[in-house]
Amino acid sequence: MHYFCVVFKSQAMKTQFLFPHGMKRIGWILLIPSAILGFFVIFFNFQASFLDCRVFAAYSGATGWLSENKAGMIENNITDEIAAILFIIGALLVAFSKEKQEDEFITKTRLESLVWAVYLNYAILALCVLLFYNMGFLTVMIINMFTILIFFIIRFYYILYKSKKSLSHEK
Amino acid sequence: MKNNLKVQRAIKNITQEELARQIGVTRQAINSIELNKYVPSTILALKLSAYFGKAVNEIFSLEETD
């Protein structure tokens, strides 16, 4: 019995680049409102007027590449910046916080889901490259920044849910 | 890879839940191994072997396709 505990602990201590389990809840609290906010920003151009402010821009040229230096303070509405940053933090916490109990099966499921999400994300992006043009493609790119995490979260939790469900008729 | 984990559990009269707890893995891991959906690591195979007091190849065996 003692032997098993020692082995399990040494395994659990390996670096996994994951957040503590408790951060998952914080992740959801950030993810859900920022996703809703982001939805309205992208599809309805929502901007909260009290979020108009001066921000530092490393570059804010309207066209093309870094042909002219545009670094400096600019006027900007930061609704979309807030939504994006909160979504990224929230989604990362939800995606990469430890499960209540970690083991090699969960680790394998996580890695598989990540590969799966990358493939799906780029398959959809490749399709959109061929189907969307001009500003439509810009919207696709904006959404595509976030879908990789969304696909990962959906797939990872679906597999965990399915493997939990298959327990009920196994004794 | 095949395994007779379910048989070994039956001999010891232990549930998936209890086995998982003793070994320190999730119940899903034990269940997935029994359903041949998951091939455990050498570490986990050795833990199971030590727990049941049987050699690893008495619990796990290769299939034609392996």
Mean pLDDT of A12-36: 90
| ipTM (interface pTM) | 0.88
* pLDDT (tens digit per residue) in A86-98: 999 999 999 999 9
Reply yes or no on whether the pLDDT at A5 is more than 50: no
* pLDDT (tens digit per residue) in B19-34: 999 999 999 999 999 9
Which residue segments constitute the domains of chain B, with CATH numbers given?
A: 2-61 (1.10.260.40)
Contacting B residues, span 6-65, partner chain A, CB-CB under 8 Å:
15-16, 22-29, 31-32, 34-35, 38, 40-41, 43-44, 47, 50-51
pTM of the model: 0.85
CA distance A88 to A30: 9
Reply yes or no on whether the pLDDT at A145 is more than 80: yes
The DSSP code sequence of A92-157 is: HHHHHBPPSS--HHHHHHHHHHHHHHHHHHHHHHHHHHHH--HHHHHHHHHHHHHHHHHHHHHHHH
Q: Which amino acid is at A39?
A: F
Query: SS3 of A57, please?
Result: strand
Could you tell me the residue ranges of all domains in chain A?
20-98, 99-166
